[in-house]
Each structure stands twice: as structure tokens, then as C-alpha cells.
Amino acid sequence: MEKEYNYITKLDIKFEHLERMDVTEMVKDCTDKWFNQTLTQVNESVVRLGIVEGEYHWHKHENEDEFFFVLEGQLLIDLEDQTIELNPNQGVTITKGVMHRPRAPKKTVMLMVETNTIQPTGS
């Protein structure tokens, strides 16, 4: 049985191709501590908006890399042997199979790019 987490993860695609995206209101209106919305699909990948505060759980993606890019706030990504600190306009790609735990000490807005088949909560 898969463990349940208190995360809001919306996998529906919010914006179609050629539709302008303005996420300012989404960020302003978000009251969830860990919110994730798929914005658009680009070929076999999706771009997701994360509005987060607090800790996610340790997990890994066996077959997919995952890219994080911080727009506002600060994201810390714990690995087994180090922590990667991301501030606004910084990003990192986590290699498939690498155990990691994202956490945000304050409200953080980020973009994630990953395959459309990825299980967002990891394996």
C-alpha cells in the first residue's frame, strides 16, 4: 500500500500550447504548504509549478531525471552525502536513481521539469 502524504499534486495540464501563462495569482492565492500544478506539456516532458514550504519525504525516481529551478524563496535538496542550496534563478538536475529530499525553510516558488510519466511522489 502506497503511503499518503499531505501534498496537493495536480497532474492535469493547466495551460494549452499558445496559451499565455501567468502564475502570479496562483502563487498569491496558494495556502497549501506543498502545492504542485502541471502547467504544460512539452513533448514527453511536463513543466510543473511548485509552491512549497516545509519538508518533502525522501524518495527517488528510478527511471527519470528531475530538474528544479527556483523563482522565489529557497529550496534545499538533501542528498545522502550533501545538501544543494538553490536560491532565486538557480537550478539543478537530480539524476535518476538518486535518493533526495526537497525542503523549503520559507515559502518557495519553483519550476520542475520532468517526464510526463514520472510519479511525483517518487518510488
Domain boundaries, the chain: 8-115
By the 8 A CB rule, do 23 and 39 touch? yes
In the prediction, which pLDDT does 74 show? 98
In the prediction, which pLDDT does 123 show? 63
Binned average pLDDT, 10 residues per bin, the chain of 123 residues: 68 96 93 95 97 95 96 98 98 97 97 89 68
Q: How many CA atoms lie within 13 A of 86 on its CB side?
A: 24
The superfamily (CATH) of domain 8-115 is Jelly Rolls (2.60.120.10)
In the prediction, which pLDDT does 2 show? 44
In the prediction, which pLDDT does 21 show? 94
Q: d(Cα 114, Cα 44) in Å, to the nearest integer? A: 9
In the prediction, which pLDDT does 104 show? 98
pTM: 0.92
Tell me, letter by letter, the H, E, C secondary structure of the chain. Answer: CCCCCCCEEECCCCCCCCCCCCCHHHHHHCCCCEEEEEEEEECCEEEEEEEEEEECCCECCCCCCEEEEEEECCEEEEECCCEEEECCCCEEEECCCCCEEEEEEEEEEEEEEEECCCCCCCC
In the prediction, which pLDDT does 4 show? 53
By the 8 A CB rule, do 93 and 122 touch? no
